[in-house]
Amino acid sequence: MAAPANTGVFVTFEGGDGAGKSTQIRFLARLLEDAGREVVRLREPGGTAVGEELRAVVLDPKNDNLSDEAELLIYEAARAQIVAEVIRPALKRGEVVLCDRYADSTVVYQGYGRGLDIEKLRSLNDVAIGGLWPDRTFVLDMDPADALKRARRRNAELGLSEKEGRFEAEQMPFHTRIREGFKLWAAHNTKRIVVLDAADSPEGLMHQALANIDMFE
């Protein structure tokens, strides 16, 4: 059954760097806007003035001495702010929120990637989000070697290679752990998380995504 237009819907996209999340969000936003929905597009970390400043700090390659715990708390601080300032109010107004990364990224990058304790990450995530999990999460799954080529090309085109390269600079075993981590985490959360093959065309992926958001049926 279609959700009434005044019901907020929260959808997140996850996956390794360069898997095509922002393209998917752009496609989906345009389609939903054409169908008359108010859509808020966000990215994490970021989406608020404070969050964008924290993003600049946490992704700056010159901060390569950040401890894993400090890195974690910066992501959670940015998340607490975007939830309070943007996501909750938008959902209350009945809008569709499409977010590029969210709390699942912390479980996978800081947990499976950096090796921090997953249970502690769950608790910290809950401090930041207060139980506000997405209605649907899509993991765009892709071979990390291909995805990284895309991410590096995009960063170079946008002139971001100097400022946002901290994760792209990680070695292949890290990115392989991220891919496997997303698959494992998705397998633990099958009601909410759907894994899509990011090698499909952007149009194909969008239709798969739509078919898996029952609020838009």
Residues that bind ligand TMP (CB under 6 A): 17, 43-45, 75, 101, 105-106, 109-110, 167
Q: Supply the minimum distance, in Å, between the C-beta of residue 105 and ligand TMP.
A: 4
Q: Which CB, 43 or 177, lies closer to ligand TMP?
A: 43
User: Shortest Cβ distance from residue 208 to ligand TMP (Å)?
Assistant: 21
Considering the complex, what minimum distance in angstroms separates the CB of residue 1 from ligand TMP?
32
Residue nearer to ligand TMP on the CB measure, 45 or 134: 45
Q: To the nearest whole angstrom, how small is the minimum distance from the Cβ of residue 21 to ligand TMP? A: 7
Question: 151, 161 in Cβ contact below 8 A?
Answer: no
Report the residue number, 38 or 126, with the smaller CB distance to ligand TMP: 126
State how far the Cα of 16 lies from the Cα of 88, in Å rounded to an integer.
26
Is the Cβ of residue 105 or residue 137 nearer to ligand TMP in the bound state? 105
Give the nearest distance from C-beta 116 to ligand TMP in angstroms: 11
Instruction: Compute how many other C-beta atoms are within 10 angstroms of the C-beta atom of residue 30.
Output: 12
**Cβ proximity to ligand TMP, 8 vs 113, nearer residue:** 113
Cβ within 8 Å of residue 144, ≥6 positions away: 16, 172, 175, 176, 178, 179
CA 101, 208, 112, 72: dihedral to nearest 10 degrees? 10
- The number of helices, as runs of H, and strands, as runs of E, in the chain is 9, 5
Q: Please enumerate in sequence order all residues whose Cβ is within 8 A of that of 206, keeping only pairs 6 or more positions apart, or say none.
A: 24, 27, 28, 31
